[in-house]
């Protein structure tokens, strides 16, 4: 499955980049992720409770960052395994500075396997879109937070933020 | 085929159910008709520690007219909704929608409360519920609140229900003369879920202009939504074929349609527009009587 | 034999099925219905990966779960059981070893990796979740054409590439004809993989008797005797120590015509644990790990003259074999190439078949097995010739039919067609559907922007295998079938047949044959099958062979019994045997039915031995084996009429007419049932069904959520008729009808949809004709890039 | 474990069962009523259809505990006093079955269909049986079987 898109964050590129290479803050924004342990150079492992409401599962995941070109590009490789299947994917993030904001272009390809794939194909595209939205919304909150501020993440909070953002965009306030 | 073990609770009153839900917390899940939850449990896509079977809460099983609206208890089955004369006569759009869910056996067991709470992106109800601007009552140990249909579907498989809340009632309007509605669906041939489903509800004024249009869409995106641009394009217009066509073309405006093996995102968007056109046309015919 | 045709009595009538009372009351016993004392339950852990190296498998947590009796992996079984037998043999065929549980590598999603035996099915399932497997994923070879290329991920390192075989059959006459051709039409055809999906998933129960040292296996199989031979060989047991029972079997369609890993695994575990073990497949396991059908990509070319005369045909077939070779995996494409010309007189053909390993479940026989692919090729090409030349598709067919005078007809592929009258069945179908009127209506509706399509398919197939040389060389059986007829002392008749019906209704049609031949009532006949301890020997039910072969063996055995009856009666009636006939429960003098001896008296004499007949051997029993000297070639004409919604690509049926010719019919009601069911599966392939693997080899239509088995409202009302062109090959004059409907229908439907969209410029759409594909074809054609 | 009392084919059955036990497994494994079959695991094939408190339900998608206190009719309980139900008769007469695996569920679903619509058209029968898959018959003889039964039942009224 291929995903691609863009997302604009109201923060300078340097700030976004610092976030993107900080596993702890990153984990805070990945829906369902717990703490990531460093297991190698730019390589982390941890448990992620991936999924949506009714269909959630615990995955043992590994995340690896490659091809780091600060502050504009990296490749992220994700590998997760659980009882309901596995997710294996990689994607690139390209950051572009735009008048103090950052445009993120993401493109990725993921393989989803196991029971999830055999019964859930109709949901996978939608689930991916939903989770990507959740991730970026959470990320924006995290990146734009004042230093030392603890951002509360959660699906409702993030969705709320997402809607506010859309509203602002709609009325040209963004 | 075999669910993982769980603890089972079968309260017979709403209060008991709410208490259980409150005390058992995150590991608990409600079982109504079971036609969304049990398949997921059997496939072990989901497991629960506690299953609270509210199927015996008889007070949530009714369909009646009250205060000019049709009030439907959350445990009403799709079958009850499709076959009750009150719904068929006074809100045929909803009856039509219920009649197209799954298959006979599924409709005999599945409930409106269960289906709405599950919020499957390809379920049939969201289209009708949105077009009808239904009200959804939710109860929790803390009290009761009403959620507007437009606020209910938050995201894929995600509703505005808070932890500890149970849907208790759904209210839809009695459709007045001059109002016509229909639900048209492209069923996915294997699962029966909606590849696309469109509910159109239009009201014509005395001069034959559209005074009000509501279009609910399911299956096309991560959640059911109202095609607001299409509604606007109809409002105040004399709805000839060209108006309908151009309004229907807006049915996916601003919406990211999803894709799967049965319909790519592009085709799904196209199909949504074609079915919106057909549904609006059919609704208009009915509105004209 | 051919000179001694059976006199029809109940034959040819719609006799109600004798199998039904137990089935409609819930009293039948399928494998999963068996309950044996002390029975244990098996559950299989399957690979989530299409292609991966297998690392450590940790079963300790599963073993610790209360109720778990054993957990085994490939390493535990190595050298003890397996590999899975495969009788295939072709020149230079690469033959991989198929272990019972994966060793070293997994090669398709669904491949068995570990197995749990527990005291209940629920516990066995729970334990699966506690097994931890390390996989090292590899890139998967999924697309059959890409998998054949060098540089593709390789399934078997020892083979170097994925090409299992390459069988080119060149023919200089073909090249010559193509050079001289007025026109050449070409098509690339995709025969998508489909899933047989018998309603009863596979299941196995095994019971090892420690005292007798004997094994009893109940399996949902089409071939109990073959399975017994293979089990005996695998477990190094004499065949007398292995009994296989195919109890009630809930459909097969070719997918139960095999020996599967679980059929070795379950008996092995019963033997080692000393208890009966049961395994029942869940539906997703069935879909992922029971053989699939079709799976070919074909490049077809046909040379013709301007008047539509076909002069030569060639094709290149990529056969998607899947990861391992099952019984007929390697052979299916052979049938396709041999019959690629269909019922047309094409003087020269050539082909190349390329069998390719892919990281998917094996393909094998599925209703039609190679012939639907061939008929599809021939029928699509006939329509393309018509379109190319601006001729009516019916006219092109008529121009090229092998004429009825030409039979027996030697085909360019080396087959000998037994009998046929293709014009007759076509004419009948055209009449029923009102072809000329329909064409006019079509033209009218086109003006109104409605897209009606008429699709004709005049299919032909090969069945009733058959001369033994056509079966895989190492198969522990030939192309025969057997039957025993035994009259019982009370006058009833027990028939044992080596055929193993699983829905076809031979308990009824065979009783009809017995009733007619011996003059006994249908209620006095019992047909037994599917138990190697009861039935002498057998091959099985597949390839539309049950009635043609099993029925003929039965007729032969009946002849022997009748001879003895007449010989006994001749003593009792003091009349030469040749002067006697059987009927109405009597033996009587030819021409004088009143001079009769009750058959019961003859039976009494044969068993009581008190009639004083000299040299009489007691009993009334005979066994016959029948091997035909040729295959059978049923045919027919199917016409589909559809309407395409050009805005959405949705296809709706308006009519469906089928005229099939399977020779003589024993029971027209059963024939109809077979044709109906066959058409539904053919329509299924044309419009709804596809085993969709994604790029990484995941079976994404791996459950009934996404695999669209047609529902009642998706199948049109079928208007059936038949013509009767008996075969001279067997005395019953019957051909076979199990697969005909499937073979005839798929091209009829696709031709209809293409016909509807021809004015828009649409030339081809790959199956299944899902609305989006049809819509895209329309869009592309409108954009001038069909 | 949980105690349930379910009336199956007119007989009260008291059993102690795991809450997760599916009704179909209860019928097959606890009561030995193996006429009800399992054909899929996604609640789509209908082979496991039984009547629960009058409703045709997929017994693979009902927990046995949900049926506690209820009444279940299975294919084994359809024939009354040894006389085949009109549908059983119709399926036999019209060759509405081949392998027989889908048949019990099909008949149970059809029994509800005829109660709700005693004189269905072909189309209504086809749509009314949308919850049941058959792989053998192509459905045409099933449609005929249901019509046969409808006729017989209306004649008896």
| pLDDT tens digits for range B25-65 | 888 999 999 999 999 999 998 889 999 999 999 999 999 99
C-chain residues within 8 Å CB-CB of B257? none
Please, what is the average pLDDT of chain C? 96
* Contacts across the C-D interface (CB distance below 8 Å): 177
Does C416 have pLDDT greater than 50? Answer: yes
- Mean pLDDT, to the nearest integer, of C552-573? 97
Facing D49 at nearest CB: one of B55, B102, B105? B105
pLDDT tens profile C200-211: 999 999 999 999
- Band of residue C3 on the pLDDT scale cut at 50, 70, 90: very low
> How many angstroms away from the CA of B267 is the closest CA of chain C?
6
* pLDDT at residue C359, as a whole number: 98
Q: Could you tell me if A79 and A62 are in contact, meaning their C-beta atoms sit under 8 angstroms apart?
A: yes
In our burial notation (b when 16+ CB lie closer than 10 A, e otherwise), range A56-83 reads: bbbbebbbbbeeeeebeebebbbbbbbb
Interface list for chain A against chain B, based on CB atoms closer than 8 Å: 52-57, 83-84, 115-116, 119-127, 129-130, 155-156, 159
pLDDT tens profile A99-116: 889 999 999 888 889 888
Does C784 have pLDDT greater than 70? Answer: no
- Residue A141: is it exposed, middle or buried by C-beta count within 10 angstroms (0-12/13-18/19+)? buried
Closest CA relative to residue D105, chosen from D135, D136, D137, D131: D131
pLDDT tens profile B115-160: 999 999 999 999 999 999 999 999 999 999 999 999 999 999 999 9
Q: Tell me the backbone φ, ψ of residue A68, rounded to 5 degrees.
A: -75, 120
C-beta atoms of B36 and A52 within 8 A: no
Q: Is A128 helix (H, G, I), strand (E, B) or coil?
A: helix
C-beta atoms of B157 and A55 within 8 A: yes
- The complex's ipTM? 0.96
Does A154 have pLDDT greater than 80? Answer: no
- Tell me the C-alpha distance between C354 and B106, whole Å: 46
List the single best residue of C19, C21, C23, C280 to mutate versus D (max D Cβ within 10 A). Answer: C23
- Mean pLDDT, to the nearest integer, of C662-687? 98
Question: Could you tell me which chains touch chain D, where touching means 3 or more CB pairs under 8 A?
Answer: B, C
C-beta atoms of B263 and C692 within 8 A: no
C-beta atoms of C705 and A119 within 8 A: yes
* pLDDT at residue C786, as a whole number: 40
Per-residue DSSP letters for C234-293? Answer: HTT--GGGEEEE--B----TTTTSS--HHHHHHHHHHHHHTS-EEEE--HHHHHHHS-BE
* pLDDT at residue A134, as a whole number: 83
- Band of residue A156 on the pLDDT scale cut at 50, 70, 90: low
Does C767 have pLDDT greater than 70? Answer: yes
Does C440 have pLDDT greater than 90? Answer: yes
pLDDT tens profile C575-634: 999 999 999 899 999 988 889 999 999 999 999 998 889 899 999 999 999 999 999 999
* pLDDT at residue C2, as a whole number: 34
Closest CA relative to residue B100, chosen from B63, B76, B125, B118: B125
Tell whether B191 lies on the interface with A, counting CB pairs under 8 A: yes
C-beta atoms of C700 and B261 within 8 A: yes
For chain C, the straight-line distance linking the first and the last C-alpha, in angstroms and rounded, comes to 56
Q: Could you tell me if B56 and B12 are in contact, meaning their C-beta atoms sit under 8 angstroms apart?
A: yes
Tell whether C279 lies on the interface with B, counting CB pairs under 8 A: no
Tell whether B34 lies on the interface with A, counting CB pairs under 8 A: no
Which contiguous run of DSSP H or E holds residue C220? Answer: none
Tell whether A85 lies on the interface with C, counting CB pairs under 8 A: yes
pLDDT tens profile C183-204: 999 999 999 999 999 999 999 9
- For β-strands C580-583 and C586-589, DSSP reports them as antiparallel
- For β-strands B50-53 and B28-31, DSSP reports them as parallel
Q: What is the DSSP letter of C153?
A: P
* pLDDT at residue C8, as a whole number: 45
B225 beta partners = B217
Does A3 have pLDDT greater than 90? Answer: no
- Tell me the C-alpha distance between A13 and A103, whole Å: 8
Q: Which two tokens stand for residue B218?
A: 């399911």
Between C214 and C584, where is the model more confident?
C214
Question: Could you tell me which chains touch chain B, where touching means 3 or more CB pairs under 8 A?
Answer: A, C, D
C-beta atoms of B154 and A156 within 8 A: yes
> How many angstroms away from the CA of D157 is the closest CA of chain C?
23
Facing B156 at nearest CB: one of A56, A83, A127? A127
Residue of chain C whose alpha carbon sits nearest to that of A88: C137
- Residue C535: is it exposed, middle or buried by C-beta count within 10 angstroms (0-12/13-18/19+)? buried
C-chain residues within 8 Å CB-CB of A59? none
Does B103 have pLDDT greater than 50? Answer: yes
- Mean pLDDT, to the nearest integer, of C743-754? 98
pLDDT tens profile B196-231: 999 999 999 999 999 999 999 999 999 999 999 999
Q: Write down the residue that tokens 């029925």 correspond to.
A: C551
* pLDDT at residue C776, as a whole number: 98
- Among B164-168, C397-401, C468-472, C781-785, which is the least confidently predicted range? C781-785
Tell whether C707 lies on the interface with B, counting CB pairs under 8 A: yes
- Band of residue A171 on the pLDDT scale cut at 50, 70, 90: low
- Tell me the C-alpha distance between D70 and C342, whole Å: 59
C-chain residues within 8 Å CB-CB of A60? none
Does A55 have pLDDT greater than 80? Answer: no
Q: Which residues of chain D have pLDDT under 50?
A: none
**Percent of chain C residues past pLDDT 90, beyond the cut:** 94
* pLDDT at residue A169, as a whole number: 64
Q: Which two tokens stand for residue B250?
A: 């807006």
Closest CA relative to residue B102, chosen from D56, A28, C57, D157: D56
Please, what is the average pLDDT of chain D? 97
pLDDT tens profile C96-129: 999 999 999 999 999 999 999 999 999 999 999 9
List the single best residue of D5, D19, D39, D54 to mutate versus B (max B Cβ within 10 A). Answer: D19
C-beta atoms of A122 and C706 within 8 A: yes
> How many angstroms away from the CA of D93 is the closest CA of chain C?
6
Tell whether B23 lies on the interface with D, counting CB pairs under 8 A: no
* pLDDT at residue A26, as a whole number: 82
> How many angstroms away from the CA of A147 is the closest CA of chain B?
31
> How many angstroms away from the CA of D41 is the closest CA of chain C?
6
- Tell me the C-alpha distance between B93 and C334, whole Å: 55
Q: Could you tell me if C98 and C22 are in contact, meaning their C-beta atoms sit under 8 angstroms apart?
A: no
What number of CA atoms fall less than 13 Å from residue B126's CA on the CB side? 33
Does B245 have pLDDT greater than 70? Answer: yes
Residue of chain C whose alpha carbon sits nearest to that of B268: C772
C-beta atoms of B109 and D128 within 8 A: no
- Tell me the C-alpha distance between C323 and C363, whole Å: 9
* pLDDT at residue D68, as a whole number: 98
Please, what is the average pLDDT of chain B? 96
* pLDDT at residue A145, as a whole number: 79
* pLDDT at residue C4, as a whole number: 33
Does B94 have pLDDT greater than 80? Answer: yes
- Tell me the C-alpha distance between C193 and C7, whole Å: 44
């Amino acid at each position: 499955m291929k995903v691609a898109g863009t997302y604009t964050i109201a923060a300078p590129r340097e700030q976004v980049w610092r976030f993107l290479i900080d596993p702890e803050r990153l984990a805070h924004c990945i829906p369902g992720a717990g703490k990531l342990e460093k297991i190698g150079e730019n390589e982390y492992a941890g448990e992620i409770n991936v999924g949506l409401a009714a269909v959630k599962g615990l995955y043992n995941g590994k995340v690896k960052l490659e091809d780091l070109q600060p502050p504009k590009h990296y490749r992220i490789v994700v590998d997760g395994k659980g009882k309901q299947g596995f997710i294996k994917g990689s994607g690139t993030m390209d950051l572009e500075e735009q008048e103090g904001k950052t445009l993120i272009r993401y493109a990725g390809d993921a393989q989803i396997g196991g029971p999830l794939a055999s019964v859930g194909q109709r949901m996978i595209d939608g689930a991916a879109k939903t989770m990507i939205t959740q991730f970026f919304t959470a990320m924006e909150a995290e990146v734009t937070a004042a230093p030392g501020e603890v951002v509360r993440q959660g699906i409702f909070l993030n969705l709320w933020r997402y809607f506010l953002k859309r509203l602002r965009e709609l009325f040209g306030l963004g | 085929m075999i669910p993982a073990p769980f603890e089972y609770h079968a309260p017979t009153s709403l209060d008991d159910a709410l208490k259980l839900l409150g005390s058992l917390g995150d590991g608990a899940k409600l079982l109504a008709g079971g036609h969304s939850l049990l398949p997921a449990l059997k496939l072990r896509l989901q497991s629960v520690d506690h299953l609270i079977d509210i199927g015996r809460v008889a007070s949530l099983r009714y369909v009646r007219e009250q205060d000019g609206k049709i009030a439907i208890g959350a445990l009403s089955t799709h079958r009850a909704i499709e076959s009750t004369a009150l719904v068929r006569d006074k809100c045929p759009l909803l009856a039509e929608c219920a009649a197209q869910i799954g298959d006979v056996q599924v409709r005999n067991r599945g409930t409106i409360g269960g289906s709405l709470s599950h919020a499957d992106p390809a379920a049939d109800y969201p289209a009708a519920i949105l077009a009808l601007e239904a009200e959804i009552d939710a109860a929790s140990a803390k009290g009761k609140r009403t959620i507007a249909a437009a606020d209910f579907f938050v995201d894929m498989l995600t509703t505005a229900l808070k932890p500890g809340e149970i849907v208790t009632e759904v209210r839809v309007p009695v459709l007045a003369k001059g109002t016509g509605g229909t639900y048209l669906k492209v069923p996915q041939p294997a699962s029966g879920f909606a590849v696309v489903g469109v509910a159109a509800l239009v009201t014509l004024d005395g001069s034959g202009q559209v005074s009000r249009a509501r279009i609910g869409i399911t299956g096309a995106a991560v959640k059911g939504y109202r095609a607001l641009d299409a509604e606007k394009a109809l409002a105040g217009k004399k709805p000839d074929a060209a108006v309908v066509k151009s309004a229907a073309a807006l049915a996916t405006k601003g919406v990211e349609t999803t894709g799967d093996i049965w319909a790519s995102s592009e085709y799904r968007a196209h199909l949504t527009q074609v079915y919106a056109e057909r549904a609006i046309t059919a609704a208009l015919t009915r509105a004209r009587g | 034999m051919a000179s001694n045709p059976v006199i029809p009595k109940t034959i040819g009538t719609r006799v109600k099925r004798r199998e039904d009372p137990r089935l409609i009351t819930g009293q039948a016993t399928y494998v999963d219905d068996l309950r044996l004392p002390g029975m244990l339950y098996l559950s299989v852990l399957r690979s989530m990966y299409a292609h991966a190296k297998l690392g450590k498998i940790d079963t300790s947590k599963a073993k610790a779960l209360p109720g778990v009796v054993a957990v085994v992996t490939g390493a535990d079984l190595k050298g003890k059981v397996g590999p899975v037998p495969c009788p295939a043999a072709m020149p230079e065929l690469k033959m991989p070893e198929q272990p019972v549980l994966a060793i070293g590598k997994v090669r398709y999603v669904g491949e068995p990796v570990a197995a749990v035996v527990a005291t209940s099915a629920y516990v066995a399932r729970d334990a699966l979740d506690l097994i931890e497997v390390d996989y090292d994923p590899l890139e998967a070879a999924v697309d059959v054409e890409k998998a054949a290329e060098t540089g593709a991920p390789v399934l078997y390192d020892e083979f170097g590439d994925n090409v299992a075989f390459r069988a080119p059959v060149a023919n200089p006459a073909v090249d010559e004809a193509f050079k001289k051709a007025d026109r050449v039409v070409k098509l690339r055809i995709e025969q998508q993989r489909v899933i047989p999906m018998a309603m009863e998933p596979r299941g196995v129960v095994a019971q090892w008797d420690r005292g007798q040292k004997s094994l009893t296996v109940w399996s949902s199989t089409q071939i109990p005797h073959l399975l017994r031979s293979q089990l005996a060989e695998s477990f190094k047991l004499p065949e007398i120590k292995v009994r296989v029972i195919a109890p009630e079997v809930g459909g097969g369609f070719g997918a139960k015509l095999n020996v599967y890993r679980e059929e070795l695994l379950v008996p092995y575990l019963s033997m080692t644990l000393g208890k009966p073990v049961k395994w029942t497949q869940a539906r997703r396991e069935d879909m992922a790990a029971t053989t699939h059908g079709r799976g070919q990509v074909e490049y077809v070319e046909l040379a013709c003259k301007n008047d539509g005369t076909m002069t030569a045909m060639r094709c290149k077939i990529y056969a998607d074999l899947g990861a391992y070779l099952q019984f007929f995996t390697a052979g299916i494409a052979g049938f396709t190439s041999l019959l690629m010309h269909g019922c047309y007189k094409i003087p020269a053909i050539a082909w190349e078949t390329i069998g390719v390993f892919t990281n998917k479940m094996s393909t094998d026989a599925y209703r039609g097995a190679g012939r639907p692919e061939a008929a599809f090729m021939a029928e699509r090409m006939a329509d393309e010739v018509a379109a190319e030349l601006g001729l009516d598709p019916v006219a092109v067919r008529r121009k090229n039919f092998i004429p009825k005078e030409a039979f027996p007809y030697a085909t360019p592929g080396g087959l000998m067609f037994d009998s046929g009258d293709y014009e007759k069945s076509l004419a009948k179908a055209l009449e029923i559907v009102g072809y000329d009127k329909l064409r006019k209506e079509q033209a009218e509706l086109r003006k109104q922007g409605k897209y009606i399509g008429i699709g004709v398919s005049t299919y032909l197939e090969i069945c009733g295998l058959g001369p033994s040389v056509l079966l895989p060389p190492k198969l522990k059986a030939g192309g025969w079938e057997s039957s025993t007829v035994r009259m019982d002392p009370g006058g009833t008749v027990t028939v044992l047949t080596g055929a193993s019906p699983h829905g076809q209704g031979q308990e009824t049609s065979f009783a009809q044959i017995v009733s007619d031949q011996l003059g006994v009532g249908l209620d006095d006949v019992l047909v037994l099958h599917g138990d190697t301890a009861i039935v002498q020997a057998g091959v099985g039910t597949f390839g539309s062979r049950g009635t043609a072969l099993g029925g003929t063996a039965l007729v032969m055995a009946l002849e022997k019994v009748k001879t003895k009856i007449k010989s006994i009666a001749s003593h009792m009636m003091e009349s030469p045997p040749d002067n006697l006939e059987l009927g109405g429960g009597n033996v009587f003098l030819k021409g004088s039915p009143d001079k009769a001896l009750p058959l019961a008296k003859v039976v009494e004499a044969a068993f009581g031995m008190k009639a004083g007949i000299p040299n009489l051997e007691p009993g009334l029993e005979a066994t016959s084996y029948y091997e035909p000297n040729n295959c059978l070639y049923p045919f027919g004409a199917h016409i589909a009429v559809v309407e395409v919604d050009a805005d959405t690509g949705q296809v709706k049926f308006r009519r469906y007419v089928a005229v099939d010719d399977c020779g003589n019919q024993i029971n027209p009601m059963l024939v109809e049932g077979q044709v109906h069911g066959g058409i539904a599966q053919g329509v299924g392939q044309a419009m709804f069904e596809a085993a969709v693997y994604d790029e990484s080899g995941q079976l994404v239509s791996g459950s009934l959520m996404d695999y669209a088995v047609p529902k009642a409202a998706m199948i049109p009302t079928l208007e059936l008729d038949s013509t009767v062109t008996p075969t001279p090959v067997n005395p019953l004059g019957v051909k076979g009808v199990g697969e005909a409907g499937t073979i005839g229908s798929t091209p009829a439907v696709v031709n209809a949809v293409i016909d509807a969209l021809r004015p828009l410029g649409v030339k081809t759409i790959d199956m299944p004709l899902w609305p989006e594909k049809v819509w895209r074809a329309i869009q592309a054609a409108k954009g001038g890039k069909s | 474990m949980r105690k349930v009392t379910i009336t199956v084919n007119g007989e009260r059955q008291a059993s102690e069962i795991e809450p997760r036990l599916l009704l179909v497994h209860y019928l097959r494994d606890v009561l030995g009523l193996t006429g009800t079959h399992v054909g899929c695991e996604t609640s789509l094939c209908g082979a496991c259809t039984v009547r629960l408190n009058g409703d045709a339900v997929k017994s693979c998608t009902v927990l046995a505990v949900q049926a506690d206190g209820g009444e279940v009719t299975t294919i084994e309980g359809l024939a009354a006093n040894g006389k085949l139900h009109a549908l059983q008769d119709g399926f036999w007469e019209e060759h509405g079955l081949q392998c027989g695996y889908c048949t019990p569920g099909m008949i149970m679903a059809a029994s509800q269909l005829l109660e709700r619509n005693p004189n269905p058209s072909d189309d209504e029968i086809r749509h009314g049986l949308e919850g049941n898959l058959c792989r053998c018959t192509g459905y045409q003889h099933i449609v005929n079987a249901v019509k046969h039964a409808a006729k017989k039942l209306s004649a008896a009224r």
